Amino acid sequence: MEVLVYLVPLAITLGALGLAAFLWSLKNGQYDDLDGAAWRAIADDEPSDKSSSVL
């Protein structure tokens, strides 16, 4: 059961990373336009890399 010594911290770190990523994406405004985001993924060509800047 020594495996717990590094598996548990690893699991908690991964969880914390996931939470941090979620909070970052929320702050970044990625949930402001869910309809648009769904379509952007399959758009033929993005207008330019400018559109990805933070609003």
Partner 1 sequence: MQSTIDFSHYLKKAGSDLLHLDLAVEGINCAGCMAKIERNLSKIPDVTSARVNLTDRRLALEWKEGAVDPALFVDRLAELGYRAYPFEPAGAETREAERASALLRRLGVAAFAAMNVMMLSVPVWSGNDSDMLPEQRDFFHWLSALIVLPAAAYSAQPFFSSAYAALRARGVNMDVPISIGIILALAMSLFETATHADHAYFDAAIMLIAFLLAGRYLDQNMRRRTRAFAGNLAALKAETATKFINDDEIRTVPVAAIRPGDIVLLRPGERSAVDGSVISGRSEIDQSLITGETLPTTAVAGSAIYAGTLVRSGALRVRVSAASEGTLLSEISRLLESAVQSRSRYLRLAERASRLYAPAVHATALLTMIGWLIAGAGLHDSIVIAIAVLIITCPCALGLAIPAVQTVASGALFGSGVLLNSGDAIERIAEIDRVIFDKTGTLTLPELDVANAAAIPACVFELAGRLALSSRHPVAAAVARAAGAKAPLPGIEEEPGQGVYGVMDGLEVRLGRPSWCGADKSANEILQGDPEASVVAFRHGERHYVFAVRQRIRADAAKVISALHRTGLTVEMLSGDREPAVREAALALGIHRWRAEVTPVDKIERIEQIKRDGRKVLMVGDGLNDAPALAAAHASMSPVTATHMSQAVADAVFLGERLAPVEAAITVSRKALRLMRQNLWLAVIYNVLAVPIAIAGFVTPLIAAAAMSGSSLLVMLNALRARQHRETI
Binding interface with partner 1 (CB under 8 A):
1, 4, 8, 11-12, 15, 18-19, 22-23, 26, 31-36, 39-40, 42-44, 47-48, 50-51, 53, 55
Contact between residue 25 and residue 31 where contact means Cβ atoms under 8 Å apart: yes
For the bound state, the minimum distance from the C-beta of residue 34 to partner 1, rounded and expressed in Å, comes to: 6
Residues 28, 55 contacting (CB under 8 angstroms): no
Tell me phi and psi for residue 27, to 5 degrees: -65, -30
For the CB of residue 6, give the shortest distance to partner 1 in the complex, in Å: 14
Pick between residue 6 and residue 34 the one whose CB is nearest to partner 1: 34
